[in-house]
Structures are given as C-alpha cells and as structure tokens.
Amino acid sequence: MSEVIVLTMVPDRETALKIARNLVECKLAACVNIVDKITSVYEWKGEICEEGELLLIIKSVAANFTWIKDRILELHPYELPEVIMFNIDAGLEEYLAWIRR
C-alpha cells in the first residue's frame, strides 16, 4: 500500500475542522494537519485575488484518494477546490505503518 499526502486549501477554521474530522472519523485519513494564516495569491475568472486560507495536510494511502477527493468536494465551499496528492517516497517505517493502519 502506498502512503500519500493530500493537500487542500480552505477559507476558514470551521471548514478545516469539518473536513479534517470527517476524514479521520471515516478512517479515510490517519491524520490531518491544519496550517493557519496562509495567504494565497491567484488568478480567478480574470482577476488577481489575495485571500487568507488554511492548508490541510492529509496523511493517508493512495487507495483512499478517490473517497478523500469526493468527501472534500462534498464538504468544501469552493467552486474549484485544490485537491492534490503526493506519494510519500520514504519515511520512518513505524510512522508509515501507522498511516497504513
């Protein structure tokens, strides 16, 4: 089984906690870190936007990605939320085993 990190940005703490708790309670993620006070600058629909956001760092396994993506889309308020998956190439084996469990 391949361990992964999934990233998504959210607009507020309430949304961050709602998504994080749901993913952990449903056993789709071993852990979700919430990183506060991020400023995102991006172009959207022809305008440059600057927004305060929170980053969710979701630790899981690749086999759960589709369910994680679907759950984020269901709970997320954005029209087009970021949902990006990265493979974990190496790490402390005991920690990786905990993610797999």
Does a structural domain hold residue 75?
Answer: yes
**Chain center to CA of 46:** 26
Does a structural domain hold residue 41?
Answer: yes
Averaged pLDDT score across all residues of the chain? 97
Q: Provide the CATH number for the domain around residue 67.
A: 3.30.70.120
Share of the chain above pLDDT 70, in %: 99
Does a structural domain hold residue 87?
Answer: yes
Question: For 35-61, what is each residue's pLDDT tens digit?
Answer: 999 999 999 999 999 999 999 999 999
Mean pLDDT of 14-27: 98
CB count within 10 Å of CB 78 equals 15
Does a structural domain hold residue 100?
Answer: no
Give the domain range for residue 85. 3-92
